[in-house]
Amino acid sequence: MGFLESLRRMVEAVPGAMAAAVVGTDGLVVEGYTPHGSVDLQVHGAEMATAMNAVSKAMEALQQGEVEELTVRTGQALAILRPVAAGYFTLLLLHPDGNLGKGRFVLRRATPELSKEF
């Protein structure tokens, strides 16, 4: 059904979700959805790609395998990242009081569908 529709469904399914995007590890956003336009997806994509790459390198150096999921909590946001294809990940951004468990579940469930689009 295309990236945008999948991303929109994801955001609508998770309480407290602010945005969802498919991002390249080069920091470029392939597609993104943010219901209120409150999130600058380009900037978030670029910064989260840098974070994802650094974490991937660390886990590789530790011979712990490839990153399957990364979550970051701050006072203002909750980010969940999950690889979706070689060189790409999906980002789901929630309010800090958003439902992390539901977010992880919805993102994991959407991944096979999103993968098909590559």
Q: Which residue has the tokens 């991303």?
A: 7
> Should residue 28 be labelled a site residue for a second copy when binding is judged by CB under 8 A?
no
Binding region for a second copy (CB under 8 A) out of 8-16, 28-36, 66-74, 110-118: 66-74
| Residues of span 70-99 touching a second copy by CB under 8 A | 70-77
The CA-based diameter of the chain, rounded to the nearest angstrom, is 41
Which amino acid makes up residue 83? P
What is the bridge-based pairing of β-strands 78-85 and 88-94?
A: antiparallel
CB 52 within 8 A of CB 24: no
> How far apart, in whole angstroms, are the C-alpha atoms of residue 40 and residue 78?
15
Nearer to a second copy, 9 or 46 (CB): 46
> Should residue 59 be labelled a site residue for a second copy when binding is judged by CB under 8 A?
yes
List the x/- string, 34-53, binding to a second copy by CB under 8 A.
---------xx--xx-xx-x
Sorted by sequence, the CB contacts under 8 Å of residue 55 that are 6+ apart come out as: 67, 70
Nearer to a second copy, 9 or 108 (CB): 108
Binding site for a second copy (CB under 8 A): 43-44, 47-48, 50-51, 53-55, 57-59, 61-77
